[in-house]
Structure 1
Amino acid sequence: MLRKIPTQTLSADPQLATVRAHFDEHGTALCNAAALIGGGAGIARALRLMSALREASRLDRTTRHRLVDLHRLLSLDPVMDGFEPDLTSWVLLDPASAEVEQICLLTDQLHALLVEIGERDEQQDALALEPWSQTAA
């Protein structure tokens, strides 16, 4: 059984809190989807990511990279740091099946999460530059 990701933390990183909340809600389904597509290696990737989220104090570059890798796996992107998922079980699935529909939905939600993280990065960068622009004027 998967342990829950803590959503009530002392982390000041709003991005980490957002990702933890997403995985609290969808973590089991993401692991199942990763297992369906990538077999044992796919589920191991998802579980490593979830473990890193549990232990993190901020959303670092490695964890972000793992998020992107999980999205690429679910998107059936064949090249991920030398990891090529075993797609033989995927080929046996009916494209109109509920499993494929669920994987597509999870992939879209994960993409939306990545976009949200990127937007927060841009907002933080803008706030960080704001004092400099005021003193330069």
Structure 2
Amino acid sequence: MLRKFPTKTLSADLQLAAVRAQFDKHGSALCNAAGLIDGDAGTARVLRLISRLREAARLDWATRRRLVDLHRLLSLDPVIDEFEPDLSSWVFLDPASPEVEELCLLTDRLYDLLVEIGELDDERDALALALPVQDAA
């Protein structure tokens, strides 16, 4: 059982708050899903990500990259880099199994989170562009 993320703390980083909320709710399931696909290495990957999220003051580029890598792993999309799992060790999953259905739901939720993070970036960029115009007036 994973420890819960502290919910009483306020974060100025809305993206970090969104990611923490997602992992607070689905962190154990994400660990199990990554472990199902990539064994102990997959589980360890999610646990390291959760540890980073606990210690973070903001959502940095490296953590974002790890979120994308996790999504690619859960999507069964081979990643061509140092974190590429050994495909020969992947368990063959029955598409009709409840585990695969849960895996698909978790993958969709993680994708939605990545989209939300991107939208928050767009909103912040739009606000930053609007500020000089307001100062000039």
Normalising by structure 2, we get a TM-score of 0.91
Check if 1:38 corresponds to 2:38: yes
Give unpaired runs (5+ residues) of structure 2: none
Is residue 30–residue 46 contact of structure 2 (8 Å, CA) maintained in 1?
A: yes
Is residue 52–residue 63 contact of structure 2 (8 Å, CA) maintained in 1?
A: yes
| Identical positions, percent | 71
What is the deviation of 1:136? 5.7
Aligned residue in 2 for 1:84: 84
d(CA) in 1 for partners of 2:14, 2:96: 37
What is the deviation of 1:85? 2.3
Aligned residue in 1 for 2:28: 28
d(CA) in 2 for partners of 1:123, 1:77: 29
User: What secondary structure sits across from 2:85 in the alignment?
Assistant: coil
For these two proteins, the number of residue pairs brought into alignment is 136
Check if 1:133 corresponds to 2:133: yes
User: What secondary structure sits across from 1:116 in the alignment?
Assistant: helix
Aligned residue in 1 for 2:64: 64
Give unpaired runs (5+ residues) of structure 1: none
Aligned residue in 1 for 2:112: 112
Is residue 69–residue 79 contact of structure 2 (8 Å, CA) maintained in 1?
A: no
What is the deviation of 1:2? 1.6
d(CA) in 2 for partners of 1:29, 1:113: 15
d(CA) in 1 for partners of 2:27, 2:80: 21
Normalising by structure 1, we get a TM-score of 0.91
